[in-house]
Structure 1
Amino acid sequence: MKSRTFTFLLTALLIGTAAVTPLQASAQVNVNINIGAEPPPPRYERVPPPRKGYVWAPGYWNWNGHRHVWTSGHWERVRAGYVYQNANWYQDGRGWHLNKGHWKKDKHAKHHRDHRNDRHGHGKGYHCPPGQAKKGHC
């Protein structure tokens, strides 16, 4: 009887550890993409009408390990005190790098300002046209 109880407890402990371990490991993963191949020109995407409480994250060329694949634009729920940084590619001496879209703390956030429909001070529902952010126009 003691042997069966011990086996049961040991099995439960191993299963519990296995269930928690992947969560801890995935919380620390940071992916940088560095390749030699230039991404194709951005695709035209029709930007949907503004949606209260959300910002539009435009599509971008992602890298799947073998080639560029298009990732369509999507809505991101607004986060107070943060601004959404669109995905972008840049080149340096080591090749091409992808910065995936992410939220960044807004250093210039004013507590009374409504960020839900205001993208970088450009007005309600603003969306930077494809390729313009890379050129520094947005």
Structure 2
Amino acid sequence: MNRSIRLLAASAVLVVSGLSAVASASAAEVVIVAPGAPPVERFEAVPAPRAGYAWDKGHWRWDHGRYAWVPGHWQVQRVGYHWVPGHWVEHGPNWRWVEGHWA
């Protein structure tokens, strides 16, 4: 009986450690650095609110040595969270992109 309990506990520990390794790997952050400030944001009409979704406004993306505009789109809402839009942050002479996320 004790042996089966120890075996079950050891198996549970392995499963939990495996899940945490997968979760940390999927949360890997990609850092995007641009050598200059992004252009001024484009005006984009925000659509009427949509139940169960949050609007993610358009933004400039650094793509192969230049900025490219990415239009706004809907994000499926996560209950109990609010959407923090992605944004550029000045970091010394460069600019870094902070990905939009739920907080």
- Seen in structure 2, the aligned counterparts of structure 1 residues 102 and 28 have a Cα distance that, compared at 3 Å, is closer
Q: CA deviation at 1:30?
A: 2.2
Q: Secondary structure at the match of 1:82?
A: coil
TM-score, length-normalised on structure 2? 0.69
Counterpart for residue 127 of structure 1: none
Percent identity over the alignment?
Answer: 38
- CA distance in structure 1 between the partners assigned to 2:49 and 2:27 by the alignment: 34
Unaligned runs of 5+ in 2: 1-24
Q: CA deviation at 1:92?
A: 2.2
Matched, 1:43 2:42: yes
Counterpart for residue 82 of structure 2: 83
- CA distance in structure 2 between the partners assigned to 1:96 and 1:34 by the alignment: 6
Aligned letter for 2:40? P
Contact (CA 8 Å) 2:38, 2:60: kept in 1 or not?
Answer: yes
Unaligned runs of 5+ in 1: 1-25, 105-138
Counterpart for residue 16 of structure 1: none
Counterpart for residue 67 of structure 1: 66
Report the number of matched residues. Answer: 81
1:9-63 deviation line (CA, Å, top 9, x unaligned): xxxxxxxxxxxxxxxxx73642111121110000000111111111111000011
CA-atom RMSD, angstroms? 2.0
